[in-house]
């Protein structure tokens, strides 16, 4: 079956290294099933190494609480449900109305500030109104944050940073946590780090110097066969251009393995192209040039399958490739060569 192998010793190295660079608090961003690494098991494994967590939705936050997570959990895209949130869940607020909706349903909030990305957040001139509304309704303010839309544009980052500082000026000595930098912004000058960094992609080993990827994905062969030139392979109109040996592999678009051209996998270190259309649960590969058998391991990511090449094949960014791996895959956790019970 499709298996995601996560080496927690590499994750812990990444966390330790980034903390040594930033010298700030570390917020582990575990939204979207911890970028494919497994929300609850992953978070429990790193809880002692981080200061808090961040997720996208209250559903993710509640799953973490139910799994035993006790550290604070920031929710970026809070939907204002009717139920009361556990004390360690911190909703983001973007308006006075949002604050009022949380009266009696939360104990702490964090204020998101829109400094130019225009995705969500309060404007700098309305920040104080939201801050005062929170205090009026008995809500502690845990922090305030913004998000840079283009870390490679130094001028736009400075504009956004200045806008954020204008918003928080009146409460800059209040003791609440201020944060601007996500993984992509670790390249910015140290002054941008403020009190805390929110780290997702870099924690998992991608997009920053000095870190190592921690995930391998593999599956197995469930059938082999031979086809003659002109025979159909899989759904649709693909026909074998020549006599071929083929193998069916347990991964399909139902697992996040997309129906695109130029896919390939690795069998015994040999790159094998996918032929025909990817099915929901399996894909078919060309193994004409190798000896293989049913049950043999097939690498989807890791070994000689380069992550950057996979992103190019999918014509997308690393975040999307990682989060395509859904919950149907088995996840195992190791520390070096030792498997950890999960």
Mean local confidence (pLDDT), 61-86: 93
User: What pLDDT was estimated at residue 223?
Assistant: 98
At residue 175 the predicted structure's pLDDT band, cuts being 50, 70 and 90, is confident
| Nearest alpha carbon to residue 106 among 92, 122, 120, 127 | 92
What is the pLDDT at residue 273? Answer: 96
Q: How far apart are CA 286 and CA 299, in angstroms?
A: 14
- How far apart are alpha carbons 46 and 342 in whole angstroms? 14
Structure token digits, residue 2: 């499709």
pLDDT of residue 25: 97
For residue 82, the model assigns a pLDDT of 80
CA torsion sign, 305 to 38 to 79 to 133?
negative
Q: Is the pLDDT of residue 71 over 80?
A: yes
Q: What is the pLDDT of residue 219?
A: 97
pLDDT at 191: 95
Reported as a single tens digit per residue, the pLDDT across 297-316 is: 999 999 899 888 888 888 89
Enumerate residues 6+ apart whose C-beta is below 8 A from 218. 2, 3, 5, 297, 298, 299, 300, 302
Give the relative orientation of helices 8-22 and 39-46 as an angle to the nearest 10 degrees. 60
pLDDT of residue 245: 98
Cβ pair 199, 26 in contact under 8 A: yes
Q: How confident is the model at residue 260 (pLDDT cuts 50, 70, 90)?
A: confident
pLDDT in tens, 129-174: 999 999 999 999 999 999 999 999 999 999 999 999 999 988 877 8
Contacts 24+ apart (CB under 8 A), 192-195: 192/157, 192/161, 193/22, 193/23, 193/24, 194/24, 195/24, 195/25, 195/143
pLDDT at 342 over 60: no
Catalytic residues: 31, 235
For residues 218-223, give the mean pLDDT: 98
Higher-scoring residue by pLDDT: 311, 80: 311
Residue 111 has a pLDDT of 97
Q: Show the domains of the chain with their CATH numbers.
A: 8-199 (3.20.20.10), 215-340 (2.40.37.10)
- The continuous run of DSSP H or E covering 307 comes out as helix 307-314
Please compute the mean of the pLDDT values over residues 98-122 and round it to a whole number. Answer: 95
Q: Cβ(326)–Cβ(37) under 8 Å? A: no
For residue 341, what pLDDT is reported?
55
Q: Is the pLDDT of residue 340 over 80?
A: no
Integer Cα distance of 321 and 298 in angstroms: 18
Percent of the chain with pLDDT over 90: 84
Strand stretches in the chain, DSSP E: 3-7, 25-29, 52-55, 73-75, 89-93, 108-112, 140-145, 177-179, 196-199, 215-227, 244-249, 264-267, 270-273, 283-286, 297-301, 330-335, 338-340
Q: How many residues does the chain have?
A: 342
pLDDT of residue 150: 93
Mean pLDDT estimate for the chain: 94
């Amino acid at each position: 079956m499709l298996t995601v192998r996560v080496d927690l010793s590499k994750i812990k190295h990444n966390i330790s290294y980034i903390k040594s660079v930033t010298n700030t608090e570390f917020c582990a961003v575990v939204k979207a099933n911890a970028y494919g690494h497994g929300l609850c098991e992953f978070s429990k494994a790193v809880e002692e190494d981080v200061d808090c967590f961040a997720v996208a939705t209250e559903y993710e936050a509640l799953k973490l609480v139910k799994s035993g997570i006790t550290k604070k959990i920031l929710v970026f895209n809070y939907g204002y449900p009717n139920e009361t949130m556990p004390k360690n869940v911190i909703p983001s607020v973007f308006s006075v109305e949002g604050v009022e909706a949380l009266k009696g349903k939360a104990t702490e909030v964090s204020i998101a500030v829109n400094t130019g990305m225009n995705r969500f957040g309060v404007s700098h001139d309305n920040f104080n109104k939201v801050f005062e509304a929170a205090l009026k309704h008995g809500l502690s303010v845990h922090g305030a944050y913004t998000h840079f839309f283009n870390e490679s544009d130094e001028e736009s980052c400075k504009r956004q940073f200045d806008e954020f500082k204008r918003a928080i000026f009146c409460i800059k000595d209040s003791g609440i946590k201020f944060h601007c930098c996500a993984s992509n912004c670790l390249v910015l000058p140290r002054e941008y780090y403020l009190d805390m960094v929110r780290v997702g992609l870099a924690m998992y080993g991608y997009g920053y110097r000095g870190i190592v990827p921690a995930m391998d994905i593999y599956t197995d062969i469930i059938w082999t066969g031979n086809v003659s030139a002109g025979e159909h392979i899989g759904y649709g109109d693909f026909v074998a251009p020549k006599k071929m040996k083929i193998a069916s592999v347990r991964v399909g678009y139902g697992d996040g393995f997309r129906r695109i051209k130029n896919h390939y996998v690795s069998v015994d270190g040999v790159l094998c192209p996918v032929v025909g259309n990817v099915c929901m649960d399996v894909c078919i590969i060309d193994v004409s040039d190798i000896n293989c058998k049913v049950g043999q391991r097939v690498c989807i990511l890791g070994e000689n399958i380069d992550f950057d090449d996979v992103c190019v094949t999918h014509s997308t960014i690393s975040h999307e490739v990682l989060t395509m791996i859904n919950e149907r895959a088995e996840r195992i956790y190791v520390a070096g060569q030792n498997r950890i019970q999960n």
